[in-house]
Amino acid sequence: ELKVEQNPLFLSMQEGKNYTIYCNYSTTSDRLYWYRQDPGKSLESLFVLLSNGAVKQEGRLMASLDTKARLSTLHITAAVHDLSATYFCKSSGGSNYKLTFGKGTLLTVNP
C-alpha cells in the first residue's frame, strides 16, 4: 500500500527565513506533485516532478525529487507572508490513478 508522509505537518516561520518541507513515499514512483491550498479554498498545482533529479523553481519555492531515496523536498527561500498556506505532496505510486496525497504541511509565515 502506497503511503506518503510529509513533515513537518505544522511549520511556523519568520519572514526572511529559509526552510524545507519533506515528502517521503513508500513505493516506487516516477512522478511527484506539489499543490498549494489557501484556507477555505481549493488546491492549485505548484510543481510536477517527472524524473529522478528533477528540480523546479518558481519564485521563492523550489522542489526537487530523488526517486532512489523516495524523497521530494519543497524548499522555501526568504519566506514572505503570502506563502502562508497548506502544501500537499502527491505521489503516483507507479500507477495512474492511485494518486495518494500526503496529509499536508500548514505553513504560517509571521512578520
Partner 1 sequence: DGGITQSPKYLFRKEGQNVTLSCEQNLNHDAMYWYRQDPGQGLRLIYYSQIVNDFQKGDIAEGYSVSREKKESFPLTVTSAQKNPTAFYLCASSIWGSGANVLTFGAGSRLTVL
Residue 42 C-beta: closest distance to partner 1, Å: 4
Q: Which is nearer to partner 1, 26 or 77 (CB)?
A: 26
Angle at alpha carbon of residue 93, lines to 75 and 40, rounded to 5°: 55
E strands in the chain: 4-7, 10-14, 19-25, 32-37, 43-49, 55-58, 61-66, 71-76, 85-91, 100-101, 105-110
Q: Which is nearer to partner 1, 5 or 82 (CB)?
A: 5
Q: Which is nearer to partner 1, 3 or 17 (CB)?
A: 3
Residue 94 C-beta: closest distance to partner 1, Å: 12
Residue 63 C-beta: closest distance to partner 1, Å: 13
Q: Which residues bind partner 1 (CB under 8 A)?
A: 9, 31, 33, 35, 41-45, 48, 50, 88, 90, 92, 96-104
